Amino acid sequence: MAELIFFTGTMDAGKSTLALQTNHNHAARGRTGRIFTSHDRAGDAVLSSRLGLVHEAIEVTPDLDFWRHTVDALTHGARIDYFICDEAQFYTPEQIEQLAKIVDELQLDVFCFGILTDFRTRLFPGSARLVELADRTEVLQVEALCWCGKRATHNARTEDGVMVTEGEVIVVGDVEGAGPAPVGEPAEVAYEVLCRQHHRRTLTAARAQAVSLAPEPLPFG
């Protein structure tokens, strides 16, 4: 029986790497799949891993109808056994419902990969619908770590090195870090994974280091 499976974890947990590995494993057994992604750090229509692996993909825009796309392809003689859907948190709830329909009505396996919550600690609508509809939700066993060494559970966004908790939900960045942007230019956006405690305190690695290097107050004054 075909399944809708949602693989989830924080940034840096290896989701895109697993997506590419899953595609490789199924293709090696003679199955034919299609790869989808949205807002990948490497640009449009490409699925990339931080390990350097890259594969062409179909860019998922809000107006993409998965059901119509699939039926049209099958009607024209294409063979499709499975879908790899990376960055699934950016898909609309309606698109997730279309993927569930594809599994049930067309018996195609759909493997989705994405993060649960945004930098505000709120569920992405696409991820929320996946949790509601998926046959299985698998939490990745590769644990990303906060700078303190604890398991990272939250995704933090920084702008010019300062953690923010408000703003546009979808802003492309990476976890490599970013420095201050030149005066007059848009803020440099980066992401960092933190444990819940340090996300609550907005205590990023850079800020923690700055605090540790601050001079001790004198015992008088």
- Residues designated as active site: 87
Q: How far apart are CA 63 and CA 182, in angstroms?
A: 36
Residue with tokens 């703003």: 167
| Planar angle of CA 33, 36, 40, nearest 5 degrees | 140
DSSP secondary structure string, 107-122? --EEEEEE-SB-TTSP
* Helical (H) or strand (E) element with 136: strand 136-139
Ordered strands of the 136-139 beta sheet? 58-59, 33-37, 82-85, 109-114, 4-8, 136-139
Among 14, 25, 37, 128, smallest CA distance to 84 is for: 37
* Token representation of residue 119: 């930098």
